[in-house]
């Protein structure tokens, strides 16, 4: 939906954001079903790199050019139950959803079919850390940019898709300059479009893997089941966008919160898989990583319990 909202920034105002959203999902589904997304994937990496550089420049310029904080501004405390729900929604995708671990594994098998090379543990680890560390750095920069440009000004993100997308772009142009508007808009669009493409491929791919394993079906059926799940997922997503979403901010918050609240379950499954009999002893996590994993699980559980308390008992 954010991708569709960003499209409106090019002056396409004849279509509502929900219709633009469905259009983006149909394009992604067509690219995946027809298999013509390799060129787009390569192009997206260049554009996302451009956005990363733009974000770094914007943060660097925003530090000495921070707007004046209003004299009557009272900083909200993050150490209150009121702020707790916001922290959970903020952490929902920081720096990436935990589902990514399963997707990475499934993509590795698909890459083997395409290239004939099965990645070693070392190659997979390096590939994962590069992407994950980059996501961490960008997450910190995005939060810093919002804090530097918006904090203390009284400005709030708009609930409408078009207003939200304009504010997102304005975070950059406020510090880099208005000349960069379409450059940043294009980079942001490709970033979100590639994310949409990833999700429309990743979730159905996980469901297809589940169906293949549970039904004990031959691996050649995987592609057919994957394609069926892509179609079903897009149809369900279109229904949700058309009939159950009133504004973009509501959807973003809901999705981030659901992602966070399911994290303890997915994280525990990850832990059990990596320490299970299907993983060779030498390839299992070290004692330090096991301790870190349990610390993360306890953190997820505590935050989830806190969110339930704030939502239903406050």
pLDDT in tens, 67-113: 777 777 888 788 888 788 778 777 777 777 777 778 888 887 777 77
Count of structural domains within the chain: 1
For 210, the token pair is 């589940």
Most confident of the ranges 9-23, 29-43, 45-59: 9-23
**pLDDT score, position 287:** 93
- Binned at pLDDT 50, 70 and 90, residue 40 comes out as low
Residue from 190, 230, 210 nearest 33 by CA: 230
Is 283 a domain residue? no
Measured distance CA(104)–CA(127) in Å, rounded: 10
Residue 143 covered by a domain? yes
43 belongs to a structural domain: yes
> What pLDDT, on the 0 to 100 scale, is given for residue 206?
92
Match 């260049």 to its residue by tokens.
Answer: 46
Parent domain of 231: 2-69+94-245
Please, which residues have CB within 8 angstroms of residue 30's CB and are 6 or more apart in sequence?
none
Domain assignment present for 271? no
195 within some domain: yes
In a domain, 312, yes or no: no
Determine the Cα–Cα distance for residues 99 and 313; give it in Å rounded to an integer.
29
Residue 234 lies in a domain: yes
Strand intervals (E) in 195-279 = none
Task: Say if 292 falls within a structural domain.
Answer: no
Q: Which residues contact 204 (CB under 8 A, 6 or more apart)?
A: 226, 229, 230, 232, 233
Cα 189 → chain centroid: 14
Q: pTM of the prediction?
A: 0.79
Distance of CA 2 to the CA centre of its chain: 11
């Amino acid at each position: 939906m954010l991708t569709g909202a960003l499209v409106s920034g090019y002056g396409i105002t004849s279509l509502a954001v929900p219709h633009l959203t469905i259009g983006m999902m149909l394009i992604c589904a067509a690219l995946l079903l027809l298999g013509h997304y390799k060129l787009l994937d390569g192009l997206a990496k260049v554009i996302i790199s451009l956005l990363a550089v733009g974000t770094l420049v914007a943060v660097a310029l925003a530090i000495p050019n921070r707007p004046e904080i209003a004299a009557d501004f009272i900083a909200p405390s993050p150490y209150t139950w009121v702020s707790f729900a916001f922290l959970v929604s903020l952490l929902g995708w920081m720096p990436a959803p935990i589902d990514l671990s399963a997707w990475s594994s499934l993509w590795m098998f698909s890459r083997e079919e395409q290239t004939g090379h099965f990645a070693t543990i070392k190659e997979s680890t390096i590939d994962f850390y590069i992407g994950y560390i980059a996501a961490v750095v960008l997450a910190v920069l995005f939060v810093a940019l919002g804090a530097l440009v918006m904090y203390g000004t009284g400005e709030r993100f708009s609930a409408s898709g078009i207003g939200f997308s304009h504010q997102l772009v304005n975070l950059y142009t406020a510090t880099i300059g208005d000349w960069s508007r379409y450059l940043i808009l294009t980079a942001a669009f490709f970033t979100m479009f590639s994310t949409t493409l990833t999700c429309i491929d990743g979730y159905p791919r996980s469901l297809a893997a589940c169906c293949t394993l549970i039904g004990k079906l031959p691996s050649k059926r995987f592609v057919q089941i994957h394609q069926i799940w892509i179609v079903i997922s897009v149809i369900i997503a279109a229904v949700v966008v058309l009939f159950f979403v009133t504004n973009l901010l509501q959807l973003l918050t809901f999705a981030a919160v659901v992602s966070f609240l399911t994290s303890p379950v997915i994280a525990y499954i990850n832990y059990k898989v990596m320490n299970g009999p299907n993983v060779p002893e030498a390839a299992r996590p070290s004692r330090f990583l096991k301790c870190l994993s349990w610390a993360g699980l306890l953190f997820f559980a505590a935050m989830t319990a806190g969110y339930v308390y704030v939502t239903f008992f406050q």
